[in-house]
Copies of this chain bind each other. A is one copy, B any other.
Amino acid sequence: MTEDEARERFAGARVGRLASIDGDGRPHVVPICFAMDGSRVVSVVDAKPKRTMQLRRLDNVRRHPDVQLIVDHYDEAWSSLWWVRISGRASVVEHGAAREDAVDLLVNKYRQYQEQRPTGAVLVIDVDRISSWHAAGG
């Protein structure tokens, strides 16, 4: 898969899984909606019901900014499997123009956010690396 194709598949995915490191140094993974713009990936704490626990992703990156976010395709025909993964450093943006820009990207991608513009903190990932894999070797 070329880097352009990897970027296209990644940016088009509706859900990714974010891995970070928690306060005890253990891995943490959670599904997120996200949008990609060049070397930046953004996500937002939205109105989906959350327990306090589920804001752990924000606490995690405040302490330890390294994250990975993966998008994959599962199919019973295993020759069709693929994934695209970004590695980067994340920060939490709670106010200001950078937050609004990120929310605009998300609103453009997800009609669900158009119905109710998210008001929560934004996670911004600066992408350092894109990796990809395809079962068929493409």
Q: Which residues of A contact B (CB under 8 A)?
A: 14-15, 17-21, 25-31, 48-49, 51, 53-54, 66-70, 72, 74, 76, 78, 81, 83, 85, 87, 112, 131, 133, 135, 137
Closest residue of chain B to A77 (Cβ to Cβ) is B112
- Contact flag A74-B15 (CB < 8 Å), given A54-B133, A135-B49: yes
CB-based contact B19/A27 at 8 Å = yes
Question: Would A67 and B31 be within 8 Å (CB), given that A49-B135, A133-B54, A135-B49 are in contact?
Answer: no
Q: Among B14, B15, B27, point to the contact of A67 (Cβ < 8 A).
A: B27
A67 cross-chain contacts in B, Cβ below 8 A: 27
Q: How far is the CB of A65 from chain B (nearest CB, A)?
A: 10
Q: Are A137 and B49 in contact (CB under 8 A)?
A: yes
Query: Are A26 and B87 in contact (CB-based, < 8 A)?
Result: yes
Which single member of B48, B68, B70, B78 contacts A78 (CB below 8 Å)?
B48
Contact of B21 with A76 in the complex, beta carbons under 8 Å: no
Q: B76 to A30, Cβ gap below 8 A? A: no
